[in-house]
Amino acid sequence: MLFPDGVIDRTDLRVLSRNSPCLGDVAAYLTGGRVRFGTQDVQDEPGVWFVVQQISSGRTIRVEERAGAYPEALAARVADTVVRPPEVTRVDVDALRDAQWSWVRDVLLRTAPNAMYQVLELKPEPWGPVPYARVGRRTDVLFKSVPMDTGQEQRGDVDPQW
């Protein structure tokens, strides 16, 4: 949807996801978004979802889990474990992890993605700044338009054998 020609430019994406370790890591992995570059942010909105925006066009999509895709019993177990951290034991955490991985192996990985998730195109909206003090500049974006060395010319200060 965002790159109809099939060539995905991860330097032209930013992503917003729920504030969870899994969703934040997957969002960064799939899009290249990074907090330190202002291209990844999180919100505490419940559910399994991502909002991805193509920076150059403003085109924005939301990928979200379909209702009923994740078992209610497993969701309740997760919620129960998260609400009572001081009382949670290693046995509780291991049991929850095993139940989640069983669902991933037995259901998620064996089901067509479009049966589990839907993609919605959103109206382009201004993307707010990522509110972190140490946002840096991405040199791959900064130098994106600089022509690459084709190898035809050698720099005098670089050993050609290296």
Share of the chain above pLDDT 90, in %: 42
> Tens digit of pLDDT for each residue in 13-27?
999 988 777 888 889
Q: How many domains does the chain have?
A: 1
Residue that has been written with the tokens 């009382």 in this structure: 87
* 17 part of a folded domain: yes
pLDDT of the residue at 134 = 58
Q: Is 131 exposed, middle or buried (0-12, 13-18, 19+ CB in 10 A)?
A: exposed
Q: Which amino acid makes up residue 20? A: S
pLDDT exceeds 90 at position 114? yes
pLDDT of residue 37: 84
Is 98 part of a structural domain of the chain?
A: yes
Within-domain flag for 149? no
Query: Containing domain of residue 35, as a range?
Result: 10-135
- What's the CATH number where 68 sits? 3.30.1330.130
CB atoms under 10 Å from CB of 41, counted, come to: 21
Give how far Cα 21 sits from Cα of 25, 42, 54, 100, 154, Å. Answer: 6, 10, 23, 14, 45
